[in-house]
Each structure stands twice: as structure tokens, then as C-alpha cells.
Amino acid sequence: MAKLIDGKLISSQIKDELKNKIENEGISATLAVIQVGNDPASTVYVGNKKKACEYIGIGSKSFELGDNTTEDELLALIDRLNDDEMINGILVQLPLPSHIDEKKIINRISPLKDVDGFHPWSVGNLCIGQEGFVSCTPAGIIELLKRSDIKIEGKECVVIGRSNIVGKPMALLLLANNGTVTVCHSKTKNLKDICKRADILVAAVGKPKMINSEYIKEGATVIDVGIHRMDDGKLCGDVDFDDVSPHAGAITPVPGGVGPMTIAMLMVNCVQAATRKER
């Protein structure tokens, strides 16, 4: 049976480390959290982010904007927050309403306050191995692997999914850690065969329980990025946990695996934003 990678526990440890660091070093940090509209899932995510800030001792400033907010109004708010010395990090919860161009909004956030790591500067820095903010979910997965003593160097790593938020930065991070990386997507042929080569498999497919034991090499580490609500109200991931776990060496559960790590790494980025020397 696979070892369970407990993201809830590891994320709590990271938050406690940050809480101590903030207290001991007298760090003052404030995160601006912007939500446009009232998508229920976004409201839950934003609420959890604000709660984590409060727990570790980071200030959070909420901007809850109506659905009819214009792109120009949102850009003006970002400009104001970019110039506000009291604000260290800016987070615009995605998705945005369809009349707002997400790319334009992300590009307007100062790279020095880009705690989501979505700005092209942040992504470019990650790509060439320079310091910068890293997208929270993939950064959290690296932290899960490191804190579970799972070595990346020299391993066959397969990432299913090529989104800007997860798949692409995940591949870059695994590569930076000396993994041998393959990125698969909806047009990939022989997906099962490729996945079966993986020592570390990261599933960010967006399809409930799609990855079953036929995709898994015996003893592989399986990281499940998906989260879906089933008809019975229970949550599941992209991985069929019950089918896969007898074959995996280690596996993340859903919930309680990758999810809590995203918020913990956002907190890491906020502390980094508040303590960065070069301006």
C-alpha cells in the first residue's frame, strides 16, 4: 500500500514556520486580495487565503468587486496597489468575468508584488533559473516531494496537463531539480505508456478519476492536482485513489494533498515579497 503524502500536515508545518519567522524577525506584510463577482468556489478559495494570512500574521486587504466592474476600473485598482508601499503582494482571484482580459490584468501587477507567480517576468525567471515568484501549486508539489524525502534528481517525471498555472511551471520546476521531464496533454498519443514510465506522475488533467492503475508503474509517486465534487457530494481527484494506491509507492489524497499546499506556498511568497531586498 502506498505511503500517504499528507498535504494538510505539511502545509500546517510550513504555516507554523512562517508564523514563527514573522514573529521572530518582526516582518510586516500585507496582501491585497481582489475578487470580481461572486463565484462560490472563488469565494471559498479567497476566504481560505485570508484565513491563512490571519493565522500566520500577515495583513490582508480585501477588494470584493461587483460582476459589472470594468477592465479599466480593475486596472486602476491594480495601479493604485502597485504604488501603495503598504501592500507587498497582490492577488487577483481567477477566473475573471469574461468581459475582462485576464492576460492584461496579470501583466499589470508589479512583478515585485506578483505573489501568484503568473506575471510573464516571474515565469521567465523560473524558466531561466533566476529568483522570482513561483506559481503556488507546483511550488507546493516540489515542497511535498522534498519534505517526504522523495528524490527528483534523475527520476522519470511525467506531468499530465500544460496549463500556465500548473503544468508548465511544474515541468520547469521538476527540470530545475534535475528530473527527466515529459509533458503530456489532450493530444498526446500513448498516454498510458508514457505515464507507466513515470517514477513521479503529476496528474493535472481536470477529469475525475481518469488516472487508474493502468497508468501507474509499481512503486511510483502519484501527485493528484485535480479536485472535483461528485454527485454524492464527496470530493475526488484526477486519480482513482482506491484503484491506484495499492500500486503506488506514495500518493497524495484529495482532499488534503496538493490543495492545502497552494495556500501555504502563497504565504511563502507573501513573506518573500515583504522581505525581498532588491526593489
Which chain residues interact with ligand GUN by CB under 6 A?
91-94, 116, 136, 262
Q: Active site includes 93?
A: yes
Q: Which residue, 135, 130, 143, is CA-closest to 117?
A: 135
Active site residue 130: no
Least distance between ligand GUN and beta carbon 17 (Å): 21
Alpha helices in the chain (DSSP H): 7-25, 40-56, 71-83, 102-108, 120-127, 136-147, 167-176, 191-195, 241-244, 258-275
> Which of 264, 255, 240 has its CA nearest to residue 2?
240
- Which residue's CB comes closest to ligand GUN? 94
Cell of 93: 482571484
Q: Which of 6, 35, 49, 113 is catalytic?
A: 49
Q: Measured at the alpha carbon of residue 38, what is the angle toward residues 37 and 39, in degrees to the nearest 5?
A: 110
Q: How far is CA 181 from the centre of its chain?
A: 19
**In the block, residue with C-alpha cell 481527484:** 237
What is the nearest approach in angstroms of ligand GUN to the Cβ of residue 109?
10
In the 8-state DSSP scheme, what is residue 115? T
Q: Which of 15, 93, 199, 217 is catalytic?
A: 93
Shortest reach from residue 242's CB to ligand GUN, in Å: 27
Q: Let me know if 13 is a catalytic residue.
A: no
Question: Measured from the CB of residue 80, what is the shortest distance to ligand GUN in angstroms?
Answer: 18
CB 244 within 8 A of CB 1: no
Nearest to 262 by CA among 46, 25, 29, 21: 46
- CB-facing half-sphere around the CA of 40: CA atoms within 13 A: 0
**Phi, psi dihedrals of residue 201, rounded to the nearest 5°:** -115, 125
Annotated catalytic residue, options 6, 116, 224, 240: 116
Q: How far is the CB of 199 from ligand GUN (least distance, A)?
A: 26
Indicate which residues carry an active-site annotation. Answer: 49, 93, 116
